[in-house]
C-alpha cells in the first residue's frame, strides 16, 4: 500500500523554503514503477525499472546524523498520533509503554534502511512484528498505516533539518536531498507493505483458530457436555446463542452443498440465531427458537435447503441438543437418498421406526407384500401404486379411481388380485397399518427380494 504525503505536507512546505527552494520528495518517483518496453526483433517484452538505491552517500549521512534524535522523534510521533485527527486514533488496547516502544523501533528501522544497515523494507521483520502484535491487540489496520505515514513525515523533517544544521551540510546538495526523498518514501512504502502482509496473515490465523474453537465447542455440545451448566453458559456466550430457551437441531446431507451459502446470515436477517458445523458427510445446525414457534422457524429454514435435511423435535435447552442431534439424524434417514427438502421427525415417526429396525423392516416387507414384490416389474408397480392410492383415499375405490385414471371396477379388480396374492382380505385396521408401513418401507429404499 503506497503511503500518502498528506500527513507531512505542512512540514515539507516549511522546510522547502529553508532549503532554498528544494522540491519536496514525492511518495514514489515515476522511475520507481515505470514500465518500459524493451524492443526486440519481432516481439515486444516489458520489464520493470529497478527500485532506486536506498542508501546513497548523502542519504547515509543524513540518516546517521538523525540517530541521536530517535527519542525526541518518538515523543513527536506519540504526540502526533493522539493530536492529529484523533478520531482516527484507536490504540485503546495498547499500553502506552508498548506503543512508545513500537514507535521507537519503527523510526529506528527507517534510519537503518536509509543508512544501509538493512536493505529490504518489503520483508522487514520489525514492521512485520509490529503488524502481528497490533493485529493481536485489535488495533485497526488503518490506524497503523496512519502511524507509519506520520512517522515517515517526522523522519523526513528531521532529515531536512540535518541537511541544514550538520557539519556535513555542504556535502548534501539538492541532488542528494532528492535522492534521500525518493529513498525515504520507498522505505515507508515497503515497510507499510510488510505491515499489511503481517497484519492480514495474523488476522487469518486468528480466524482459523476461532473457527477451530467454534467447531470444537459445537462438537462438545453434540457430545452432551452442555449437561454441565457452566460449560453450557460458556458455549452459549462464545457461539452467540441464548443460554436459555428451546432449540432445534438440523442434520443436512447432499452430494454437494446441502445448504445455501450463508444460511446463518439469512436466518439472522429474520432474527433467528443459529450455528452450523460441517462434518465429513453431514452439516449440523443448532437453531434457537427463542420466542418463535417451530413452524415459523422451519418456514424460514426450508428455502435454505438444497439437499435433504432432517429436523429434531424442539428440546428445552442446550443440555438436550445431544439427544436432539441423534433424532435429527434419524429424521434425515427417513428421506430417500435422491430426495430433496426438509422434514421434521414429528411428521415421520412411522418411517423413523422403520429405519431404526432395518431387519424387522425387511421381515415386514416379506410378510406383508412378498408375493406382490415377486411379480414382474410392470405388474408389481401397478398393484403397489393402486394399493398406495387406495389407502391414501381411506380405502375408497370410488375416490381412488380418478387419481388412478381408471374405472372404479378396475381398482376393485386390482385390490382383489392383491388379496389373492397375499392370501388374506384387505379389510380391517391392522392389515391397513401393516400395508401402510410396508409401503413406507419401500419408499425408504429398504432391501427386498
In a domain, 264, yes or no: yes
More confident of the two residues 155 and 211 = 155
Q: Which of 303, 326, 355 is the last residue of a domain?
A: 355
Percentage, residues of the chain above pLDDT 70: 83
Q: What is the pLDDT of residue 4?
A: 41
End-to-end CA gap in the chain: 70
Residues 174 and 315 in one domain: no
Residues 345 and 368 in one domain: no
Q: What is the pLDDT of residue 179?
A: 84
Q: Is the pLDDT of residue 41 over 50?
A: no
Residues 114 and 149 in one domain: yes
Q: What is the pLDDT of residue 118?
A: 80
Q: Is the pLDDT of residue 70 over 50?
A: yes
Domain count, the chain: 3
Q: Which of 355, 370, 386 is the last residue of a domain?
A: 355
Residues 30 and 162 in one domain: yes
User: What does the pLDDT look like over 325-337, one tens digit per residue?
Assistant: 999 999 999 998 8
Q: For 152-307, where are the E strands, in sequence order?
A: 247-253, 274-278, 283-288
What's the whole-number average pLDDT of the chain?
83
Residues 84 and 195 in one domain: yes
Q: For 293-347, where are the E strands, in sequence order?
A: 308-311, 341-344
Structural domain boundaries, residue 380: 357-443
User: What does the pLDDT look like over 228-283, one tens digit per residue?
Assistant: 999 999 999 999 999 899 999 999 998 888 999 999 999 999 999 999 999 888 99
Residues 263 and 401 in one domain: no
| Domain CATH for 420 | 1.10.10.2840
User: What does the pLDDT look like over 293-317, one tens digit per residue?
Assistant: 999 999 999 999 999 999 999 999 9
Q: Is the pLDDT of residue 157 over 80?
A: yes
DSSP annotation of 51: P
More confident of the two residues 40 and 339 = 339
In a domain, 123, yes or no: yes
DSSP annotation of 26: P
- The average pLDDT across 151-156 equals 93
Residues 177 and 75 in one domain: yes
In a domain, 223, yes or no: no
More confident of the two residues 89 and 163 = 163
248-279 burial, b at 16+ Cβ within 10 Å, e below that, comes to bbbbbbbeeebbeeebbebbeeeebbbbbbee
| Domain CATH for 21 | 1.10.490.10
Residues 350 and 401 in one domain: no
User: How many alpha carbons lie under 13 Å from residue 195 in its C-beta half-sphere?
Assistant: 26
Residues 63 and 154 in one domain: yes
**288: exposed, middle or buried (C-beta count within 10 Å: 0-12, 13-18, 19+)?**
buried
Our measurement of the distance from residue 37's CA atom to the centroid of its chain's CA atoms, rounded to an integer in Å, reads 42
Q: Which of 171, 206, 241 is the last residue of a domain?
A: 206
- The average pLDDT across 111-119 equals 87
**Residue 211 — very low, low, confident or very high, per pLDDT cuts 50/70/90?**
confident
User: What does the pLDDT look like over 419-443, one tens digit per residue?
Assistant: 999 999 999 999 999 999 999 888 8
User: What does the pLDDT look like over 49-67, one tens digit per residue?
Assistant: 344 456 678 888 888 889 9
In a domain, 219, yes or no: no
User: What does the pLDDT look like over 398-416, one tens digit per residue?
Assistant: 999 999 999 999 999 999 9
Q: What is the pLDDT of residue 105?
A: 95
Q: What is the pLDDT of residue 33?
A: 35
In a domain, 217, yes or no: no
Q: What is the pLDDT of residue 180?
A: 85
Q: Is the pLDDT of residue 44 over 60?
A: no
Residues 60 and 179 in one domain: yes
Strands 308-311 and 341-344: parallel
| Domain CATH for 259 | 3.30.70
pTM of the model: 0.59
Residues 100 and 119 in one domain: yes
DSSP annotation of 345: G
**Residue 167 — very low, low, confident or very high, per pLDDT cuts 50/70/90?**
low
Kindly report which listed range (11-15, 150-154, 350-354, 404-408) carries the lowest average pLDDT score.
Answer: 11-15
**Residue 174 — very low, low, confident or very high, per pLDDT cuts 50/70/90?**
confident
In a domain, 214, yes or no: no
In a domain, 438, yes or no: yes
Q: Is the pLDDT of residue 320 over 70?
A: yes
Measuring CA to CA, how many Å separate 25 from each of 1, 9, 418? 18, 10, 97
Q: Is the pLDDT of residue 88 over 80?
A: no
Residues 280 and 423 in one domain: no
Q: Is the pLDDT of residue 129 over 60?
A: yes
More confident of the two residues 179 and 229 = 229
In a domain, 218, yes or no: no
Amino acid at each position: 500500500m503506497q503511503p500518502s504525503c498528506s500527513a507531512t505536507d505542512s512540514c515539507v512546505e516549511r522546510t522547502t523554503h529553508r532549503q532554498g527552494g528544494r522540491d519536496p520528495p514525492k511518495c514514489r518517483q515515476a522511475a520507481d514503477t515505470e514500465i518500459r518496453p524493451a524492443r526486440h526483433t519481432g516481439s515486444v517484452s516489458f520489464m520493470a525499472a529497478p527500485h532506486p538505491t536506498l542508501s546513497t552517500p548523502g542519504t547515509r549521512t543524513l540518516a546517521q546524523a538523525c540517530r541521536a534524535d530517535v527519542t525526541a522523534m518518538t515523543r513527536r510521533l506519540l504526540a502526533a498520533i493522539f493530536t492529529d485527527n484523533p478520531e482516527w486514533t484507536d490504540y485503546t488496547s495498547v499500553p502506552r509503554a508498548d506503543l512508545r516502544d513500537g514507535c521507537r523501533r519503527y523510526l529506528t528501522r527507517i534510519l537503518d534502511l536509509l543508512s544501509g544497515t538493512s536493505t529490504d523494507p518489503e520483508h522487514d521483520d520489525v514492521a512485520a512484528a509490529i503488524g502481528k502484535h497490533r493485529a493481536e491487540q485489535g488495533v485497526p489496520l488503518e490506524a497503523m498505516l496512519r502511524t507509519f505515514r506520520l512517522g515517515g513525515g517526522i523522519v523526513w523533517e528531521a532529515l531536512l533539518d540535518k541537511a541544514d544544521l550538520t557539519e556535513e551540510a555542504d556535502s548534501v546538495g539538492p541532488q542528494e536531498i532528492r535522492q534521500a526523498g525518493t529513498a525515504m518514501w520507498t522505505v515507508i512504502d515497503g515497510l507499510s507493505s510488510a505491515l499489511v502482509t503481517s497484519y492480514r496473515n495474523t488476522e487469518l490465523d486468528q480466524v482459523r483458530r476461532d473457527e477451530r474453537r467454534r467447531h470444537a465447542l459445537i462438537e462438545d455440545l453434540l457430545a452432551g457436555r452442555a449437561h454441565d451448566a457452566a460449560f453450557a453458559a460458556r458455549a452459549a456466550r462464545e457461539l452467540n446463542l441464548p443460554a436459555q430457551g428451546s432449540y432445534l437441531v438440523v442434520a443436512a446431507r447432499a452430494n454437494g452443498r446441502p445448504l445455501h451459502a450463508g444460511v446463518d446470515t439469512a436466518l439472522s436477517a429474520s432474527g433467528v440465531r443459529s450455528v452450523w458445523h460441517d462434518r465429513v458427510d453431514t452439516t449440523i445446525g443448532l437453531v434457537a427458537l427463542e420466542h418463535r414457534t417451530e413452524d415459523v422457524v422451519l418456514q424460514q429454514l426450508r428455502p435454505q435447503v438444497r439437499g435433504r435435511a432432517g429436523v429434531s423435535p424442539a428440546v428445552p435447552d442446550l443440555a438436550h441438543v445431544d439427544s436432539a442431534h441423534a433424532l435429527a439424524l434419524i429424521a434425515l434417514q427417513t428421506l430417500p437418498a435422491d430426495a430433496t427438502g426438509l422434514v421434521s421427525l414429528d411428521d415421520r415417526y412411522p418411517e423413523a421406526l422403520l429405519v431404526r429396525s432395518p431387519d424387522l423392516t425387511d421381515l415386514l416387507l416379506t410378510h406383508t407384500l412378498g408375493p406382490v414384490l415377486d411379480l414382474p416389474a410392470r405388474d408389481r408397480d401397478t398393484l403397489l401404486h393402486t394399493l398406495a392410492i387406495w389407502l391414501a383415499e381411506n380405502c375408497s375405490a370410488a375416490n381412488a379411481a380418478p387419481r388412478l385414471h381408471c374405472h372404479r371396477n378396475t381398482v376393485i379388480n386390482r385390490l382383489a388380485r392383491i388379496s389373492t396374492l397375499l392370501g388374506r382380505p384387505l379389510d380391517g385396521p391392522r392389515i391397513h397399518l401393516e400395508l401402510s408401513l410396508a409401503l413406507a418401507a419401500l419408499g425408504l429404499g429398504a432391501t427386498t427380494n
